[in-house]
A = this chain, B = another copy of it.
Amino acid sequence: MADVARVAGVSSQTVSRVSNGFPGVTEETRRQVLAAMRELGYRPNSAARALKRGEFRTLGVITFSLSTMGNIRTLEAIATSAAQQGYAVTLLPVAVPTQDEVNGAFSRLGELAVDAVIVIMEIHLLDAATVSLPPGVQVVVADSDAGDRYTVVDTDQVGGARDAVRHLLDLGHDTVWHLAGPEDSFAAQRRANAWRTTLAEAGRGAPPLVRGDWSAESGYRAGLRLADQRECTAVFAANDQMALGLLRALHERGRKVPEDISVVGFDDIAEAASFLPPLTTIHQDFAEVGRLCVEGVLSKIRRPAQDAAGQGTTLVPTRLVLRSSTAPPPRGGAGRGGRGVRPR
């Protein structure tokens, strides 16, 4: 910076002003400084800048191995939103989702140049790690449910599941089966609960819950079992990948979708539109989740002294995407006599 100042024939402070776009610099002077910068290949030292300003303009993101598409797209949205706000994003990978690893990530965090942290993680592993959270580092949690202790941003799992079930009931199906995600996932839990509640609200009985593990393979295995349940005319799968396996199993067993069985998924992954048949599913707006995470964390940074406050959960609405995998139940079958039946 001193060199630039010398070449431009000004003081280093003026260089700083130009560098930060401050007003109160003559156009003439500004041009000279910029020319000197280019000539010398000057680029501001962000370490010194951070030291002086007391902030890094960087957000940390803690996440498990980037295994699920949802996490990845959330991360992507976080990076994009952060960039727009002039913040960089630093990745803190947690290789194995064990308590030790999580604690390790949080303690590493202490030495890291971040102003705040966004956690994309099921909350139960976060519990014991709380203690080691460096003071002054704000946290927002995505894809979880601990609104009482952290600020949480999440997809409206309940609303999405309800929409899925109601759509099938509105089509005239007697009831809706559910292919759930793994028990240790809160998202799966919430979707399953909403499925049960919505059926109860409509006065329908809930068939036995079938459980998978999010994978297409598990959906396939579940599908083989469901195909034998002749009274089953509608299935709500907790994610699109399991729905894919389900479709394959049903096809293999000669159960036509949507003529014999309707299927609704959850997530709206890119491939869902290319399934056979194209999958009706619940669209999640991961981009919005990411954006809100960044917004939440930045507002925390900017308004200090939000200790007890700043908690609560922000829900991102979902959207039912109609494709070809849903239809009214077969006439001769278990349907309640056609379309007319619409609970609520």
Task: Determine the distance from Cα of A113 to Cα of B193 in the docked complex, in whole angstroms.
Answer: 46
Binds B, one of A142-150, A197-205, A268-276, A303-311: A268-276
Complex CA gap A111/B47 in Å reads 10
B51 touches A48 (CB 8 A): yes
> Within 8 Å CB of A248, what residues of B?
276
In the bound complex, CA of A89 to CA of B58 (Å): 11
Kindly list chain B residues whose C-beta atoms are within 8 Å of the C-beta of A92: 79, 83, 88
CA distance in complex: A32, B273 (Å): 63
| A83 and B93 contact, CB distance less than 8 A | yes
Query: Quick one: closest B residue to A65, CB to CB?
Result: B76
Closest beta carbon of chain B to A47's beta carbon, Å: 4
| B residues less than 8 Å from A273 (CB atoms) | 217
Contacts of A274 in B (CB 8 A): 215-217, 220, 245
Chain B residues with Cβ below 8 Å from A128 are none
* Bound CA span A241–B47, Å: 44
Give chain B nearest CB distance to A222 CB in angstroms: 13
Chain A 13-33 per-residue mask, 1 if CB under 8 angstroms from chain B, else 0: 000000000000000000000
A interface list, Cβ under 8 A from B: 41, 43-48, 50-51, 56, 58, 65-66, 72-73, 75-76, 79-80, 83, 88-93, 95, 108, 110-113, 134-135, 215-217, 220, 241, 245, 248, 252, 270-271, 273-274, 276
Q: Nearest 7 CB-CB pairs, A to B?
A: A47-B50, A217-B274, A47-B51, A79-B93, A46-B113, A43-B110, A89-B91
- A-B contacts, 8 listed (Cβ < 8 Å): A41-B134, A48-B51, A50-B113, A58-B113, A65-B76, A79-B91, A79-B92, A215-B274
